[in-house]
Structure 1
């Protein structure tokens, strides 16, 4: 059995993460109440802050699973504090994913925390560490869509409803894209322990470019259409209509203008 040894300071919640949670709460309240003069700006801040929270939880899930699998070094690295500034690749983990959302409404977590794999024994543990992040996005999507599939939307303001729908879309895209068996993404991390040493050596040089390859591929119109048809199908299965997620997207990109129908109850 693995003995988990981390200090209390290694597990203390980061003030940076608490601050992000506070921004999420305040902007969520502004989105719900219509307090902001420009509802799109409130949605932009609420969704962006919520997205960063989910990115932190995604990386935390990797680190926490690694901790209980034998890598006690994650505590000293600050990964258990949920501080995004402690990630090995803050640019890939935070900045690029937010930029992807702004540019194309695509939820794609970036670089993961650095796990000392040599400390971990057992292929299943290695696979579970990689799967923990996308599974966090699945859970986040379930929470965002709960009012829809529980049919508990009475009294929920339309702008807040659309913001939740768009946030759910981001989580679903993040989960599906990250589970692709592409080098550099978590899906490849799930299958890598089961590959031969020769295959791993051949694939290793492509790992740094996997994320950019997937993002570039999504700009191909035919691929983009198929992918978002799949996303729409998943959201429909969760009782989230395409109209609501589309309105959330337009509200998020408030600088382009928001259709009036997105601001009133259906």
Structure 2
């Protein structure tokens, strides 16, 4: 058994779970601050993973996707938000939606800061933790940055139930909005086609193209900062 690969999968799963828990808590906190107490009353402003984890969507699905070597898609229990309770429903819905991806960007930045501190004090850290453990921590930080940026930019894709769908609706009117709501019914099949069918069958990686112009530049910027390049 390749234990390094097993540790890689477990570290990836841990990073995904942390990212999703903070993501969902951020949605709940934003809704509460903007006037809707529903999520707070159900204990969703919490860093306790059990408040947010969906056994299949948060644990099993991403593990299967990591093992398959494909894009990682995960989801948690949806945060209940009642738009009628928000102070400015149309605007605040967008703010609540943006809170999740924004929290993942913050986590990615924190991961870069931790790695920068470790890199600046590499000798001292290695003398305390040992070279192997120090290397494992650095590797996890890079993984943590990549996972959280993936969660942030993936959730900004304008398809339900992803956060980007709430943002796109703000800019659509009339027939365009009606057509978009029609497309929403096929959101999950569309995601499956984009994530797996197009790359596997036709060699068209739309998600990779999207990440190349969104995730990758930010990832490279954070890594350059973290490693002092």
Q: State the TM-score, normalized to the length of structure 1.
A: 0.63
SS at match of 2:71: coil
Aligned 8 A contact 2:156 2:164 in 1: yes
Aligned 8 A contact 1:148 1:240 in 2: no
Pick closer, same or farther for the CA change 1:153–1:41 going to 2, 3 Å: farther
Q: What residue number does 1:23 align with?
A: none
**1:74 and 2:42 matched:** no
1:207-235 deviation digits (Å, cap 9, x = unpaired): 35435523531332332553454444332
SS at match of 1:195: coil
**1:117 and 2:72 matched:** no
**Counterpart selection for 1:152 from 95, 98, 120:** 120
Pick closer, same or farther for the CA change 1:148–1:226 going to 2, 3 Å: farther
Offset of residue 177 of structure 1: 1.5
Aligned 8 A contact 2:105 2:152 in 1: yes
Say what the alpha-carbon RMSD is for the aligned residues: 3.3
**Counterpart selection for 1:132 from 96, 99, 106:** 99
1:10-58 deviation digits (Å, cap 9, x = unpaired): xxxxxxxxxxxxxxxxxxxxxxxxxxx9444344323312321211110
SS at match of 1:218: helix
**1:234 and 2:218 matched:** yes
Give the number of equivalent residue pairs.
Answer: 206
**Counterpart selection for 1:213 from 190, 194, 216:** 190
Offset of residue 89 of structure 1: 6.2
State the distance in 1 between where 2:172 and 2:181 align: 12
Offset of residue 130 of structure 1: 0.3
Aligned 8 A contact 1:74 1:115 in 2: yes
- Structure 1's unaligned 5+ residue stretches are 1-36, 245-266
Offset of residue 68 of structure 1: 1.4
Q: What residue number does 1:178 align with?
A: 155
Q: What residue number does 1:222 align with?
A: 204
Pick closer, same or farther for the CA change 1:182–1:194 going to 2, 3 Å: same
Q: What residue number does 1:19 align with?
A: none
Offset of residue 93 of structure 1: 4.9
Give matches, 1:46-61, under 5 Å. Answer: 46-61=11-26
State the distance in 1 between where 2:8 and 2:152 align: 22
Q: State the TM-score, normalized to the length of structure 2.
A: 0.72
Aligned 8 A contact 2:94 2:167 in 1: yes
Pick closer, same or farther for the CA change 1:233–1:210 going to 2, 3 Å: same
